[in-house]
């Protein structure tokens, strides 16, 4: 768990006055566990909440700019930004990404980044099934991408 002693009292006051009690508690719990890949049931356990409640709370926190996350389908969610200071804003350029090497015959190997939340766009650009791309990125062997693409770097968060 992350050290949360650096949270300013003014930030805590703003959290409490701005958010509902459940969203404030969930945000503070997220701050304590930090960014990462999570199964919703695990986050619900950390927050001592029902899965449906944590899902709606995450959506509210996301929509109001307190956190940034994206769904990884059956592989959970990736929380990549949690506001711990009122001046912080998410930097889209620093979103976690997979790095792939394109080994297409006849072309020089080139690397491609797929940021969290962009796997379906990658699939559309390359005429692939989005589920196949997600499975490949999440380490499922035997997908048809393995012939052309090599996974060079995984997301920095493990499950």
Q: How many domains does the chain have?
A: 2
103, two tokens: 């080994």
Could you tell me the CATH number of the domain that includes residue 30?
A: 1.10.10.10
Q: Tell me the pLDDT tens digit for each residue of 10-67.
A: 999 999 999 999 999 999 999 999 999 899 899 999 888 888 899 999 999 999 999 9
Parent domain of 104? 96-153
In a shared domain, residues 16 and 81: yes
Report yes or no: 150 and 103 within 8 Å, Cβ to Cβ: yes
* 113 located within any domain: yes
For the chain, the straight-line distance linking the first and the last C-alpha, in angstroms and rounded, comes to 15
Q: Tell me the pLDDT tens digit for each residue of 78-102.
A: 999 999 998 999 888 888 899 998 8
């Amino acid at each position: 768990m992350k050290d949360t002693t650096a949270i300013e009292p003014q930030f805590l006051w703003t959290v409490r006055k701005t958010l509902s009690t459940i969203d404030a508690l969930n945000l503070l719990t997220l701050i304590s566990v930090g960014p990462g890949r999570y199964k919703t049931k695990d986050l619900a356990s950390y927050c001592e909440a029902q899965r449906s409640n944590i899902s709606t709370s995450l959506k509210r926190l996301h929509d109001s700019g307190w956190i940034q996350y994206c769904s990884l389908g059956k592989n959970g969610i990736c929380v990549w930004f949690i506001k711990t200071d009122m001046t912080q804003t998410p930097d889209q350029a620093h979103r976690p990404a997979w790095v792939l090497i394109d080994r297409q015959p006849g072309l020089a190997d080139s690397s491609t980044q797929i940021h969290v939340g962009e796997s379906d766009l990658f699939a559309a650009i390359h005429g692939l099934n989005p589920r196949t791309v997600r499975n490949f990125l999440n380490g499922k062997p035997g997908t048809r991408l393995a012939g052309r693409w090599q996974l060079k770097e995984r997301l920095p968060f493990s499950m």
